[in-house]
Chains A and B, each alone.
Chain A
């Protein structure tokens, strides 16, 4: 098996470089077996960490083809490119994890043990399985752009916060370690070998307790009071989408499907045209669109920033609105709204993203539109809803030229753009570099927040997928 391994030895003064190795391994060998083979048969000084060989000690995390994995659990494949985690490097695949370890909080207990109940244990358990492999630290976009200490650091803060045996103020500590810097992009969940849901089970919970103590960021407080007052996260400055469309929009020709349309605050009040384009696109594809006018904000900005008190009210109003409309499928075109309705609601109807739905029932191919396009995966679509193929299928049907770009958070989510704009700009700058590398003239995406932010940081035109599809159809 041939693999490429990044080697580095500070003693030689040489820069890190890739070396190709050809080793023989057994069927279904893991990446660690390949590393062993390189050390045992080619270079005994090759340095990498490993220990339990069963995914339990977290020593052997490396990046394979760019993504963090445990070498002992990941099956090796011909052509794999193996690199260290994105942490300060010591030698070969060994990184300096001491600074991260130093940030992990410990229980501040007393000599007496207060009562602990099974309910406490059940709450703590999902945050307790961390094996300190630091894959999440390696791939978190917020760390280098802010004072954020990282996902597993927050996980530990909440683990201790939930424990009746702990006596420290973990909320203040978490804020000190950058609680408001997380964009909730969920990259940490994707790479975690134990599937720990740090954004939802730690960060949003810690933020919610911070809110109760009045410790939220001013921008988040303002946003929350706006939503509570108006049911919307955007101030009304012009005629909104909902004010200008009919309750029911019949399609051209045969009715192939009927959906309820959830517009979301951004498309309702700030960038209205893509929503109008989406309606047009659905109509053109034989879909009857029902638009309940009493729908409100999905609550995503509140949940991400910890203002959960008003959530049940929003949930009820939205669910009632669509139940009253009598639809069994609700379609979203905002990644954030879609992820929220799917993951934070218990809906009596199905929720689908527009790209998901169009691919599912089949769509009319538009004419090709000139230019080179790349696609930005919105975190709340890619990781929040597991959707990545469908937008590409649509895009490839319309774009003259489509170029791929690896997924990475743009920096706008999780209340970061409103709360910590400098951090959002820094994360955005990294993303802008990646966009630049593709050579694309246009960015296409399915999230109004990404759309807005990417335009700011790249200066390039950013198009909603529905708008682009309609450009093709209108030709």
Chain B
């Protein structure tokens, strides 16, 4: 065995966004905790980029039941009810945790935490810190983490999970230079976020490569609803290299309006009641339809306009948007933004219990890597909520795992080493493979889907999976492994999209006619577990 760099802990947390850090600071109470980040802790996940806010019921005029119902209905009733109950009932306490730890949320006149309206919710429920709420949460969590005894391993990539045959007990890692390492643990938490990067146009950071889905899948865990990929309605379209960059929902929350190239406020046609504050799946489809039918702007988008709002409101509530656009030569105080949908959030992921346990013993998952909380469509403001509620729960559950003797399977390590060595004999550069994958996914597995396109994508991804990746130095190891992870995720998304022969949530099949509504669909989750996939049929609804 060639691995010299080994460490041991009680709880190993993989991923350093909102869920990962929250999990680590909780797990620390139970024993030595290590958090590994393939970037710099706190900079990597999508939490730090989340702009709009975090949903929580804080007022008497609102209710947990209302938050539950909005989340279920917004999620096309594909959500796991127990997870939604947990989310909505615990998030107020998690907001209070953050506030006690120093979060600088905006306050209302009565010095209570201010809340603004977000899409698909019946009242103003989204707490915020300007338009950098995620950054605020990560900074707060980072302070908490820095004050803890948690060991932080930056720029370390997890290549695979280790198992003793019964349970997960650690991970094989690789550092910036490609040196392999071994971290053994009593319990492992996956908090690796989503996989927007499998698409050409995405809001996700470059770290959003879905490693946790692949790690969990290879370790034998069950994944669900991987076809449910949320396309955020408003991504930037210019300049070309900035395509997909998130334009926060807070822009619409603050009163921004959508118009097509003809100047028509087109949401009147698609959701006259909720207009711009409809759910994201609806708004994205509406924009996509306007574009497909030729009423798009020069760069293939629509207009999002806040120029009718008071300048002061734009400057104080949307400072990041204002500055980002100014850097690209657009003053949103006087000019509209050109926007189009962009791959944003994976509602699917590892199947978990409310205690975040996956289907594999001692393996937990929290945040975007987990599935079931958001069903077929996530409400804006519920992702940050998920990171805090389930991040804490993962830390608790993993922390409570029994300490057991380490039983390291040398065969697994040998297999990993062999696999890595094989990359030196490959033929194709990872950058080229990723580029092909992104285009295949964007062109064939986007907002509107049909079997023909999906089959094209299926063959394309399969071909890429059979292309041996080439590296010339150990420094490219993690790149190659991550590329393989992405291809696996892409494959699962396509599989799910083929399996789900209905339009539901973010998943729209143009080639399927259906007679049921979201609430009485005969289908449950799609599921994927090593070599086996399918879709749940709800017999009583057939």
Could you tell me if B43 and A44 are in contact, using CB atoms closer than 8 angstroms?
no
Contacts A54-B245, A54-B324, A106-B144 given; indicate if A118 touches B109 (C-beta within 8 A): yes
Chain B residues contacting A131 (CB-CB under 8 Å) are: 135
Q: Which residue on chain B has the smallest CB distance to residue A57?
A: B43
Interface residues in A93-135 (C-beta closer than 8 Å to B)? 94, 97-98, 101, 104, 106-109, 111-113, 115-118, 121, 124-125, 128-132
B475 partner, pick from A45, A104, A106, beta carbons under 8 A? A45
Chain A residues contacting B130 (CB-CB under 8 Å) are: 125
Could you tell me if B48 and A165 are in contact, using CB atoms closer than 8 angstroms?
no
A51 partner, pick from B43, B102, B328, beta carbons under 8 A? B43
Could you tell me if A106 and B147 are in contact, using CB atoms closer than 8 angstroms?
yes
Chain A residues contacting B242 (CB-CB under 8 Å) are: 30, 53
Chain B residues contacting A124 (CB-CB under 8 Å) are: 104
Could you tell me if A51 and B206 are in contact, using CB atoms closer than 8 angstroms?
yes
Interface size of A by Cβ–Cβ distance < 8 Å? 55
Is A33 an interface position by the 8 A CB rule?
Answer: yes
A-B contact count (CB 8 A): 139
Is B261 an interface position by the 8 A CB rule?
Answer: no
A/B interface sample: 24 pairs, CB < 8 A: A29-B239, A29-B241, A40-B431, A44-B430, A44-B475, A51-B44, A51-B207, A52-B43, A53-B205, A55-B324, A57-B39, A59-B39, A101-B146, A113-B100, A116-B111, A121-B104, A124-B104, A125-B130, A128-B104, A129-B132, A130-B139, A132-B42, A160-B102, A165-B102
Q: Which residue on chain B has the smallest CB distance to residue A11?
A: B177
Q: How far is the CB of B111 from chain A (nearest CB, A)?
A: 5
Contacts A45-B476, A124-B104 given; indicate if A104 touches B431 (C-beta within 8 A): no
Interface residues in B242-276 (C-beta closer than 8 Å to A)? 242, 245-246
A467 to B96, CA, bound (A): 63
Could you tell me if B107 and A39 are in contact, using CB atoms closer than 8 angstroms?
no
Interface residues in B309-339 (C-beta closer than 8 Å to A)? 320, 323-324, 327-328
Chain A residues contacting B140 (CB-CB under 8 Å) are: 107
Is A200 an interface position by the 8 A CB rule?
Answer: no
A45, A54, A104, A115: residue with the most chain B Cβ atoms closer than 10 Å: A54
| Interface flags, B30-41, vs A, CB<8A=1, else 0 | 000000000110
Could you tell me if A53 and B43 are in contact, using CB atoms closer than 8 angstroms?
no
Interface residues in A231-287 (C-beta closer than 8 Å to B)? none
Q: How far is the CB of A101 from chain B (nearest CB, A)?
A: 8
Chain A residues contacting B328 (CB-CB under 8 Å) are: 28
Is A460 an interface position by the 8 A CB rule?
Answer: no
Q: Which residue on chain A has the smallest CB distance to residue B148?
A: A106
Is A396 an interface position by the 8 A CB rule?
Answer: no
Chain B residues contacting A49 (CB-CB under 8 Å) are: 39-40
A interface, over-half SS: loop
Chain B residues contacting A116 (CB-CB under 8 Å) are: 99, 107, 111
Is A87 an interface position by the 8 A CB rule?
Answer: no
A177 to B130, CA, bound (A): 30
A322 to B100, CA, bound (A): 50
Chain B residues contacting A45 (CB-CB under 8 Å) are: 472-473, 475-476
Interface residues in A153-207 (C-beta closer than 8 Å to B)? 160, 163, 165-166
Could you tell me if B107 and A117 are in contact, using CB atoms closer than 8 angstroms?
yes
| Interface flags, B131-142, vs A, CB<8A=1, else 0 | 010011001101
Q: How far is the CB of A127 from chain B (nearest CB, A)?
A: 9
Q: How far is the CB of A117 from chain B (nearest CB, A)?
A: 5
Could you tell me if B40 and A59 are in contact, using CB atoms closer than 8 angstroms?
yes
Contacts A59-B40, A106-B147, A166-B102 given; indicate if A26 touches B135 (C-beta within 8 A): no
Is B82 an interface position by the 8 A CB rule?
Answer: no
Is B429 an interface position by the 8 A CB rule?
Answer: yes
Could you tell me if B106 and A121 are in contact, using CB atoms closer than 8 angstroms?
yes
A425 to B459, CA, bound (A): 69
Chain A residues contacting B96 (CB-CB under 8 Å) are: 113
Contacts A45-B472, A121-B107 given; indicate if A107 touches B324 (C-beta within 8 A): no
